[in-house]
């Protein structure tokens, strides 16, 4: 059994750790509220815009389709991996890295795969492959729509130029503070929904339908990427808050166990001292 000094040091160390994890939990909880409000307010707009764009794209003739919906033989794939810059968030980052690795080794095993890292953890995981075309970890220092729009424009340019035939986004979808769902969304080319001939929608387009689609597509793609990164940002704080809550509970349990062990050891030490005193007194009497 460890001596009393060692147990006291461990109790002090665990108590300090518990204070740190508790503080980190409260910080993440405060940040989560703001991030959750932002993604909750944005989702309806993003979903409706995507739905409208897909419906319009589905009604266009094949010859008049957008340059962003061009279907080519997939030879070069770009995966946008959205992680965080910091750890201590449970399986938040590792789940993204595992999914990207699975896509690389299984789904796109016969294609040339490159990566765009949004988050230091993604860059650290894939930079050794020498296939990371850019590291956009600084985005989280100032997460605004304009900054995300610049990245979306870069992705659109690379697709149109033929550098990549397919672009996918892998991120954590925020469901609640305790649940994050790994999502893989096709960014480019745009896949129009199949039109339902049974539904007769009589729209008047001004200007032409094609001009509307060409105007909406860049906005929709920028919004899609922004929504995914915002989703991931909220998920990060939810995952970290949950992880720190569990860490605090575990530290509390460990501290209580150490205190019990300390009290038992102290009681045993006192008992031994009493026995030694009694034994010494008996020896003097004899």
And the tokens for 223?
A: 């919004």
Question: Which pairing describes strands 132-135 and 76-82: parallel, antiparallel, or unpaired?
Answer: unpaired
- pLDDT for the residue 152: 95
Contact predicate 39/177, CB 8 Å: no
- pLDDT for the residue 196: 54
Packing angle of the helix pair 209-285, 92-102 (nearest 10 deg): 130
Contact predicate 240/159, CB 8 Å: no
> Between 217 and 115, whose confidence is greater?
115
Question: Which pairing describes strands 132-135 and 112-118: parallel, antiparallel, or unpaired?
Answer: parallel
And the tokens for 145?
A: 């729509």
pLDDT per residue as tens digits for the range 137-166 = 999 999 999 999 999 999 999 999 999 999
Q: Binning pLDDT at 50, 70 and 90, where does residue 198 land?
A: very low
Strand partners, 82: 118
Query: Taking Cα atoms as reference points, which of 201, 190, 177 lies closest to residue 223?
Result: 190
Per-residue pLDDT for 3 more than 90? Answer: no
The Cα–Cα gap between 239 and 169 comes to 20
Domain boundaries, the chain: 21-243
Edge-to-edge strand ranges of the sheet holding 132-135: 132-135, 112-118, 76-82, 166-176, 179-188
Q: Binning pLDDT at 50, 70 and 90, where does residue 199 land?
A: very low
Question: Which pairing describes strands 76-82 and 179-188: parallel, antiparallel, or unpaired?
Answer: unpaired
Contact predicate 228/82, CB 8 Å: yes
The Cα–Cα gap between 179 and 217 comes to 31
Instruction: Indicate the fold that domain 21-243 takes in CATH.
Output: Pyruvate Kinase; Chain: A, domain 1 (3.40.1380)
The Cα–Cα gap between 259 and 256 comes to 5
Alpha helix (H) residue ranges in the chain? 4-58, 92-102, 120-126, 145-160, 209-285
The residue whose two tokens read 């990427």 is 225
Task: Give 139's DSSP letter.
Answer: G
Model-level pTM?
0.83
Task: Give 116's DSSP letter.
Answer: E
User: 232 Cβ partners below 8 Å, 6+ apart?
Assistant: 82, 83, 84, 119, 171, 172, 174
- pLDDT for the residue 156: 94
Q: Binning pLDDT at 50, 70 and 90, where does residue 5 land?
A: confident
The Cα–Cα gap between 156 and 66 comes to 12
The residue whose two tokens read 């697709």 is 159
């Amino acid at each position: 059994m460890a001596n009393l000094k060692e147990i006291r040091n461990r109790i002090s160390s665990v108590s300090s750790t518990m204070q740190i994890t508790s503080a980190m939990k409260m910080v993440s909880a405060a940040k989560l509220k703001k991030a959750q409000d932002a993604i909750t307010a944005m989702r309806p707009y993003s979903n409706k815009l995507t739905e409208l764009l897909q419906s319009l794209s589905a009604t266009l003739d094949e010859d008049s389709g957008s340059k962003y919906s061009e279907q080519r033989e997939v030879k070069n794939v770009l995966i946008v991996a959205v992680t965080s810059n910091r750890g201590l968030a449970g399986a938040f980052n590792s789940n993204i890295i595992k999914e990207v690795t699975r896509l690389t080794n299984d789904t796109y095993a016969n294609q040339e795969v490159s990566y765009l890292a949004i988050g230091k953890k993604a860059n650290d995981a894939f930079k050794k492959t020498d296939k990371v075309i850019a590291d956009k970890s600084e985005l989280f220092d100032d997460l605004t729509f304009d900054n995300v729009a610049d990245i979306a424009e870069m992705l659109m340019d690379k697709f149109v130029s033929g550098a990549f035939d397919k672009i996918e986004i892998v991120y954590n979808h925020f469901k609640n503070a305790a649940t994050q769902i790994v999502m893989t969304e096709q960014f480019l080319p745009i896949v129009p929904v199949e039109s339902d001939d049974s539904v007769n929608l009589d729209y008047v387009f001004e200007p032409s339908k094609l001009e509307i689609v060409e105007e909406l597509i860049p906005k929709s793609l920028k919004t899609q990427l922004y929504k995914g990164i915002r989703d991931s940002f909220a998920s990060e704080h939810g995952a970290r808050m949950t992880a720190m809550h569990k860490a605090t509970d575990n530290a509390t349990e460990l501290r209580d166990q150490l205190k019990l062990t300390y009290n038992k050891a102290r009681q045993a030490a006192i008992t031994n001292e009493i026995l030694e005193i009694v034994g010494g007194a008996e020896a003097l009497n004899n």
